[in-house]
Amino acid sequence: MPKVGPRVRIHFAPAGSHTKYAARTAESPEEVAALFGIAVEACAVEADPAKHRTLVGTTAAQFGFAVEDPSKLVYLRCCLTCWERETRS
């Protein structure tokens, strides 16, 4: 079971309820970014590039709705920008 941040433990299923709970209870923008990074890596199980992109987009949207404090989403845009650059090169 991966450990994220000082005290958040999650079992990951892409866009699963455990991940959304962990994102909702994250104490910092860094924790949200770390959880999102784990989620994006888990989305790599989808081999088809179009389906992978859709899965990452869905996961990002779910993170946006799961995190209650908008100030904790500051790194999510940066994470998505970096991911998009990597997938297009």
Residues 17-39 pLDDT 10s: 566 677 888 889 999 888 888 88
pLDDT band per the 50, 70, 90 thresholds, residue 1:
very low
Q: How many domains does the chain have?
A: 1
Residues facing 9 on adjacent strands: 3
47, 23 contact by CB (below 8 A): no
As given in the structure block, the two tokens for residue 32 are: 């949200």
Which domain covers residue 51, as residue numbers?
3-88
Whether the predicted pLDDT of 12 surpasses 80? no
